[in-house]
Amino acid sequence: MNKNADWIKDWKGQEKGRRKEYKKLVGQLKKKPARAITELADDVHQNTFEKYDCLDCANCCTSIPPQLNRTDIKRIAKHLGMKTADFKDEFTRQDEDGDTVMKSTPCPFLNTDHTCQIYENRPRACREYPHTHAAQFVQQLDLHLVNARHCPAVFHILERFEELIKEC
């Protein structure tokens, strides 16, 4: 049984209706001292991921093609025993922004149990997702608006920040 079923259900049921509030929240957070937000973000991130298991969802892996840098491509190709050029041809494409991303979603390395075949060698974008820990939270405020559409954890982190802002 998915221990996070209620979290995911809440996210699916409420996320679209909360976008305006999140945009307002991000605007409020931008006005706060970065150091204070970073400290809060670290606590909220830790508390969220103590309760939430990404393996219950994996929506990021099924809906967002991760960006890959040269180091990612070389590392993954080596892990797979492929030439870099062959890996790029088989697994990557250029997106509308000119970034190199995985060619397909869901990710071709996602297992049916939501584990990753290349976990130890996964792209940096996957390692850092959902960008809600410590300093990354402040640096990626606008990205959280997008990621709340894909990730129940981001949704719940923004919900918690909304509560914290009201308390201030």
Q: Which two tokens stand for residue 152?
A: 């129940």
How many Å apart are CA 49 and CA 65, to the nearest integer? Answer: 22
Please compute, for residue 43, the number of CA atoms within 13 A of its CA located in the half-sphere on the CB side.
8
Q: Directed axis angle between helix 5-14 and helix 152-167, to 10°?
A: 80
CA distances from 165 to 28, 29, 32 (A): 8, 8, 10
How many Å apart are CA 19 and CA 154, to the nearest integer? Answer: 12
- Collapsing DSSP states into helix, strand and coil, what is residue 67? strand
Q: For residue 60, what are the contacts with CB-CB under 8 A and spacing of at least 6?
A: 54, 126, 129, 130, 150, 151
The answer to whether the beta carbons of residues 124 and 71 sit under 8 Å apart is yes
The answer to whether the beta carbons of residues 70 and 20 sit under 8 Å apart is no
Please state, as a whole number, how many other Cβ atoms lie within 10 Å of the Cβ of residue 72.
22
Give the per-residue pLDDT at 1.
47
Q: What is the mean pLDDT of each run of 10 residues along the chain (168 residues)?
A: 73 85 94 91 93 92 96 98 98 97 97 97 96 90 94 94 84
Give the per-residue pLDDT at 17.
86
Give the per-residue pLDDT at 3.
62
Residue with tokens 């993954």: 76
The answer to whether the beta carbons of residues 117 and 109 sit under 8 Å apart is yes
